[in-house]
Structure 1
Amino acid sequence: MFASRYLKKNNNKALIQQSPTNNTGIIIVIPCFREPQILDTLNSLKHCQPPKSNVEVIVLINHAETASEEIRKFNAQTKQQIEEWIPENNTEKITFFAVGPVELRKKWAGAGLARKSGMDEAVRRFNEVNKPNGILVSLDADTLVQNNYLVEIENYFSSHPETPGATIAFTHQTEGLKGKHLEGIRLYEKYMGYYKKALKYTGYPYPMFTVGSAFAVTAGAYVKRGGMNRRQAGEDFYFLQNLAPIGPVGEITTTKVFPSARLSDRVPFGTGPILRKWMDGKEDLTQTYNFEAFADLKDFFDVKDQLFLIEKQDYKLFLMKLPLPVGNFLVEDNFWEEIRDLNQNCSSLQSFQTRFFQKFNAFKILKFLNFSHEHFYSKASLDVQIEKLKKSR
């Protein structure tokens, strides 16, 4: 079986006793922590057009081992609520499971471990029917989906068998929002679009939206990348960026998910905390990374091939020809050690080109942007930077 070694290594124990059907092709994983609107999400899935394969939905109700009695009671009520809903809503094509409440270890408790626990269970079930091309779908408990959601996910992976995963188009829910809250979510979506397009402009090969409620991955690729990480926030970002080097992560644009735009401080970063800071006047979403910093990166990436088999003395001369923010960052980051490692392990320019962006990845880009804005640039008008990007392409 394709995932047996992974499951043994992760000490995976079955959370669902009922075996999957051989026709199970999609398993949707929904972490659920203190979620009052979970039935809205489940009803949204129930009303989807049925795909050819069978679908399972795993709602992983969870809390930390140190959770308060109030949270435990809320989650227990959620479990009961879903279990009362399930018998009337399971069909031949879609089966819902309420798992938990699962207690997560204090050290790791959070969105990452909850998502990992659910996705590992989905992998275990696909392993049971030996289906490495089974599709794991990540969704959130406050997110609605379009009617063609299941069909389009199935169609995409069927017509792109080489892809290990895909992001799914999204638009945040705005019904009932007004004033500064509505302005905030619109600015945040505009920023996300700018950031993705600016990354593409630099020549970075893996620009993508990384939203926990809006991606899917094959079970085989999930296992190959070592599964979901246990980060308390940003687990989606890290997982998708680590997935990209093994194959093209696609974009499903023929359907949409609709995440909540609620205010939240339950995780360190993401939509909820950013909107909370915006509402409290601690974050200015009208300002963003200066486009000049992305232009500097493009200048660097355009000449990166010169680093193949470069000697240290020539590397120092190479740095002097780069935009000052990039040159200073590479010194500060001691990037020479990573270049030396690349050149010791790459026998051709082609392998160097591929592996270069495993070193200068999305995390390092973010590190550079923060460095350059600390020492060289100031954040600037989002609308102005978008216009600069448009004119430069």
Structure 2
Amino acid sequence: MEKKELRELGWRAEKHDLENLSSKKILSKKPLSKAMRKYLEKKLEPSLLNCDEKTPMRPIALCIPVSYEYPHFFRTLRSIHLSAMKALSYLGENYQAFSILCCINAKENDALEVKENNAKLLHELRRLQKTEFDGSFMNLHILDYSHEGAYFKKKDGVGLARKIALDWALKSGAEVLASLDADCLVSENYLYTLALFYQKYKNKSKWALCGFSHQEPAEKAHKKAMDAYETYLHEHSQFLFDIASPYYPVALGPTIICTSEAYVRSGGMNKKIAGEDFYFLQSLIKLK
């Protein structure tokens, strides 16, 4: 999937939103709201309670569940890197607001091939932490749930992986949480527009969606099926909009962005093995 610029129901990025943004100081961790304290006390993923990491979390966190994605995940990282370079060309090279957070995961009953694939990816990501993502413009955080004692149970899946990544970003002080998938390619303007969203809504309870299109498949038959699927998604959404349903947005995990306050007020990400994005989006839509 390829992510286009950020859009939000009732909000579009306007030029004045980022006037002088590059000169604005990035705020440190703000005081915790009542909703935030309640979430951290009662709903934070238990495996994160005693976790700590020396690498500081930046205000805008890209949260990515990853499993069996070596070497394809590096295409995703490259697209994020290019988007960051574009953002910094507008914001200035000293603008340090972005973190990538990867939850590398496998189930205890997964094939050895999956676990070995994850091990290769972990090795390369740890190398990149010290080179490409050394903290100069973007931090890279790695949560390893692909080793003995940390494997997911058979009933767990992408919902838990998303929740772990989002909860860790929240716990570490991120103020904008962007949900991504490991096979997504983001647009050049993606991070710049996230910076817009952060500057405008960092202290509020707001959420947003990205436009999307699927990557072009090599085979014509696959492209025909993909086009039909996308047409269905958009038409179904339009029909819901036409009957004034508030639940008309297309629910796709890697298109959802929210502030930390919206995240905790919605109840956070659920642990469903599938459809987690649908139910999370419903919770965000219900916010007032």
1:44 and 2:79 correspond: yes
In 2, Cα distance between the equivalents of 1:112 and 1:67? 17
> What's the offset of the Cα at 1:107?
5.0
Letter of the aligned partner of 2:287 in structure 1?
A: I
1:120 and 2:189 correspond: no
The more displaced of 76-85 and 135-144 is 76-85
Q: Does the aligned pair in 1 maintain the 2:60–2:198 contact within 8 Å?
A: no
Q: Does the aligned pair in 2 maintain the 1:104–1:114 contact within 8 Å?
A: no
1:20 and 2:56 correspond: yes
Once the two structures are superposed, residues 240-270 of structure 1 have per-residue CA deviations (whole angstroms, 9 ceiling, x without a partner) of: 11111114xxxxxxxxxxxxxxxxxxxxxxx
Q: Does the aligned pair in 2 maintain the 1:15–1:99 contact within 8 Å?
A: no
> What's the offset of the Cα at 1:167?
0.7
Give the CA RMSD over aligned residues.
2.0
| Equivalent residue in structure 1 for 2:194, among 138, 153, 167 | 153
DSSP-derived class of the 2:248 partner: coil
Q: Does the aligned pair in 1 maintain the 2:267–2:283 contact within 8 Å?
A: no
Aligned counterpart, 1:173: 215
> What's the offset of the Cα at 1:39?
1.0
In 1, Cα distance between the equivalents of 2:205 and 2:96? 19
Identity across matched positions, percent: 29
> What's the offset of the Cα at 1:221?
1.2
Letter of the aligned partner of 2:60 in structure 1?
A: I
Letter of the aligned partner of 1:35 in structure 2?
A: E
Aligned counterpart, 1:336: none
Q: Which one has a larger percent helix, Structure 1 or Structure 2?
A: 1
In 2, Cα distance between the equivalents of 1:120 and 1:45? 21
Aligned counterpart, 1:205: 246
**Residue pairs, 1:152-301, within 5 angstroms:** 152-159=193-200, 164-174=206-216, 176-247=217-288
CA radius of gyration, larger in? 1
Aligned counterpart, 1:95: 139
Q: Which runs of 5+ in 1 are unaligned?
A: 248-393
The more displaced of 103-112 and 38-47 is 103-112
Once the two structures are superposed, residues 56-114 of structure 1 have per-residue CA deviations (whole angstroms, 9 ceiling, x without a partner) of: 10111001122232221111111002112232212422111222034354254111010
Moved over 4 A (4+): 160-163
- Seen in structure 2, the aligned counterparts of structure 1 residues 4 and 56 have a Cα distance that, compared at 3 Å, is same
> What's the offset of the Cα at 1:154?
2.0
Q: Does the aligned pair in 1 maintain the 2:96–2:138 contact within 8 Å?
A: no
In 1, Cα distance between the equivalents of 2:136 and 2:261? 26
Q: Does the aligned pair in 2 maintain the 1:196–1:208 contact within 8 Å?
A: yes
Q: Which runs of 5+ in 2 are unaligned?
A: 1-31
- Seen in structure 2, the aligned counterparts of structure 1 residues 5 and 167 have a Cα distance that, compared at 3 Å, is same
